[in-house]
Amino acid sequence: MVALNSAVVLIVEDEPLIRFNILDVLEEVGHVALEAANADEALVVLKGRQDVDILFTDVNMAGSMDGLQLANRVRAMRPNIGIIITSGMVRLDPMTLPANTAFLPKPYMHDALISTINSLMT
């Protein structure tokens, strides 16, 4: 699968192997991938980069806030950013999510992630 439009994607995942794998997959299809191990690191990245198109965050992670709290904070800071929330522990109803937000349950196929990014970029 190929990215329809190149996006700058911030990956927020506390499991390093998963984070590095996603980073490689996204770069392979033409996206620019940034990484953060938790919400606090993600907010630092977002303050320094105005070009982030997509936030891809896990729900459960260590730090001062979980992925849902991070998504709400980012939505307030940057209403136009696309947000993808993932989890293997909780299931979110896509109908209850704010506009330009998607839920991708774990485990997911890489093609599903790329398709979701493409849909949020159009």
Contacts of 86 (CB under 8 A, 6+ apart): 56, 57, 58, 59, 67, 103, 104, 105, 106, 108
Structure-token pair, residue 90: 């909780």
Residue 76: its pLDDT value, please?
93
Residue 122: its pLDDT value, please?
78
With 70 as the cut, is the pLDDT of residue 1 above it? no
d(CA 70, CA 60): 11
Residue 2: its pLDDT value, please?
58
Residue 92: its pLDDT value, please?
78
Name the pLDDT band for 5 (thresholds 50, 70, 90). confident
Angle between helices 39-48 and 67-77 in degrees, nearest 10: 20
pLDDT digits (tens, 9 = 90+) for 15-67: 999 999 999 999 999 999 999 999 999 999 999 999 999 999 999 998 999 99
d(CA 45, CA 34): 8
pLDDT digits (tens, 9 = 90+) for 54-110: 999 999 998 999 999 999 999 999 999 999 999 988 887 777 777 799 999 999 999
Q: What is the pTM of this model?
A: 0.93
Please check whether residue 57 is in contact with residue 12, taking contact to mean a CB–CB distance below 8 angstroms. yes
